[in-house]
Amino acid sequence: MSLKHKIINIAVIAHVDAGKSTLVDAFLSQSGVFRENEVVKDCVMDSNDLEAERGITIYSKNCSINYKDYKINIVDTPGHSDFSSEVERVIKTVDTVILLVDASEGPMPQTRFVLQKSLEAGLRPILFINKIDKQDQRAEEVVDEVFDLFVDLNANDEQCEFPIIYGIAKQGIAKKELDDESTDLSPLFETITEHVEAYPDFDNEPLQLQVSALAYDDYVGRLGIGRVYKGTVKNGEQVSICKADGSVARGRITKLTAYEGLNQIEKSEAYSGDIVVVAGISDISIGETICNLDNPLPMEMIHIEEPTLSMNFLVNDSPFCGKSGKFVTTRHIKDRLDKELEVNVGLKVEPMDTTDGYRVSGRGELHLSILLENMRREGYEIGVSKPEVLMHKEDGKLLEPMERVIVNCPEVYSGTVINKLNLRKGLMESMSIEGDYVKIEFIAPTRGLLGYRSEFINDTRGEGTLVRSFERYEEHKGEIPGRSNGVLIAQGPGTTMGYALNALSERAQMFVDPGVDVYEGMIIGMNSRKDDMVVNPCKNKKLTNVRASGSDDAIKLQPARIFTLEEALEFIDDDELVEITPDAIRLRKRFLNENERLRYNKSRQSK
């Protein structure tokens, strides 16, 4: 067998923050991808600004390394279940997965999600216990927990006999036993080549190249990324494309590239087993198969999970519209969403009845807020409505998405957390105590979890962690109570004054500091009661020439609560919007004028 044919494709799967991207960095540096004098940033695969800032992977990426006579293609996958459509497709293109688990945390909900997808695809994972240098590491226990998880997920006997590697991804160390003296990743490379057979040689069979990811290039247009399952593919050749609807189209490959290190290198021909990028087919989509011109052999389409959440992206009609953003019209928003649909398959965009916006559906709050954050940075201004959970109808029954929620919090706060999740129609499945902390598992409706995260942080004084992932659809759980506090609404335009905010802060939590420009209908704080209150935050003290002792002391204000984008989307109610601009995130009422709001509320009550 020739050198070029020993190809193994692997995916690194794990929970957020377990060290996937760090491990891939170590792979690359130890296989000589970087020059000796090259400056390499951490998490080199997280190329998008947002990924680097948040320390999470959003889009799966590819790179390759050479080890002895093997070419190993590595796919780095997202750990968040919001990007599950990315994970599912990646699993189809690989020969094995490295399951990365933190030596002290053990398996987490998203570990369960990505592992389940791998086992269903028949892959035999390799377990990598990371961060064994932590003081609270409990590697042996974690191995047992992972084994239990495999059994839980109905793994077969072969899958349950997984090789185990212990390591420290940050230092690029892997060991077969905990007390081995190893200084590099060789034991992991050896395990991969022993445990996984190289992809068989199907070069002489008819071509089958299935597209599992999309990219976009401003010069050559849409790119299809996928694995050559059978046959060979040549640059410039005429091909047939088996579409999702069963039809067959024709096209020509104008550019063919494969991964070497982190770069894409142009190729004249690629062989079975390799992952390639093809250009020239403008309407190529996920799951479609590229075949020989006269021999179309479609592969089974890739199933992409349905969206679970939707929001309305509206034109920003606030008085501050256009102050900081360049793109403010419906046309601009439509063009940007169309561009996003080229590569983001988990997304769905529908026009609304009115002409001022679009209904955008995705896999979760994070999925949609990442898109909004990217748009904001590119200079867009948008008004966004409260996220809505998408229901399913089946056999005349209304079904809603349920999520598995794992809470870790100090024992003293556990009563409050259990109480709040019960109110939100959560059902407790298990509870265990580890030291001063309690670990609680719930199954709760997505609807009930919207807006809960910030409340949870307050209830646990910031010491609790809450992890969610989609579990299944169940029958509708009935009415769930919403936000119990009203808001403070600015009466008119102006600049906020410390004097007015000081008076208001006695009965409300403020969202603005002094010296901030506001407009009529803007939300500036949260009331301690359940009613909304219209106030004047711009009122200043009347100046007189009589000085009273004691009352003219400096005002001491509590700092205002500043929202992140996700927190703002969780906080708002049905009649409110988040105004997103490049320089600010503001909360506002949908109807800015008080009389219009009264009319709207009356019409809702009469329905």
Neighbours of 178 (CB within 10 A): 13
Write down the pTM of the prediction: 0.73
- What does the pLDDT read at residue 585? 92
- What does the pLDDT read at residue 37? 36
Q: What residues are paired with 298 via a beta bridge? A: none
- What does the pLDDT read at residue 333? 92
Can you say which residues are annotated as belonging to the binding site for GTP?
Answer: 17-22, 130-133
- What does the pLDDT read at residue 54? 38
The Cα–Cα gap between 539 and 543 comes to 12
Pairing of strands 7-14, 96-102: parallel
**Average pLDDT along the chain, 607 residues, taken 10 residues at a time:** 66 69 75 42 38 37 76 67 59 84 77 78 87 82 87 85 86 82 83 86 87 78 85 86 84 85 80 86 83 85 78 92 88 89 81 85 81 89 90 86 85 89 89 83 88 80 78 85 85 90 88 91 90 89 63 71 85 90 92 87 76
- What does the pLDDT read at residue 181? 80
Task: Among 3.30.1330.40, 3.20.20.80, 3.30.70.240, 3.40.640.10, name the CATH number for the domain at 392-475.
Answer: 3.30.70.240
Can you say which residues are annotated as belonging to the binding site?
Answer: 17-22, 130-133
| Sequence-distant contacts of 454-463: CB under 8 A, at least 24 apart | 454/567, 454/570, 454/571, 455/420, 456/407, 456/417, 456/420, 459/413, 459/416, 459/417, 459/420, 460/409, 460/410, 460/413, 460/416, 460/417, 461/413, 463/409, 463/410, 463/413
Distance from the Cα of residue 40 to its chain's centroid = 25
Query: What's the residue count for the chain?
Result: 607
Neighbours of 150 (CB within 10 A): 20
- What does the pLDDT read at residue 544? 65
Domain ranges (residues) in the chain: 3-195, 208-292, 392-475, 487-578+585-606
- What does the pLDDT read at residue 574? 85
- Of 214, 208, 343, 230, nearest to 278 by C-alpha is 214
Task: Among 1.10.443.10, 2.60.40.10, 3.90.226.10, 3.40.50.300, name the CATH number for the domain at 3-195.
Answer: 3.40.50.300
Handedness of CA 174, 263, 265, 233 (dihedral sign): positive
CATH 3.40.50.11270 fits 487-578+585-606, yes or no: no
Sheet arrangement for strand 208-217 = 248-252, 238-242, 289-292, 208-217, 221-230, 275-279, 255-260, 263-266
- Please give the single-letter amino acid code of residue 600: Y
Task: Among 3.40.50.720, 3.40.350.10, 3.30.950.10, 2.40.30.10, name the CATH number for the domain at 208-292.
Answer: 2.40.30.10
462: left (phi over 0), alpha (psi -120 to 50) or beta: left
Let me know if the fold of 208-292 is the same as that of 392-475.
no
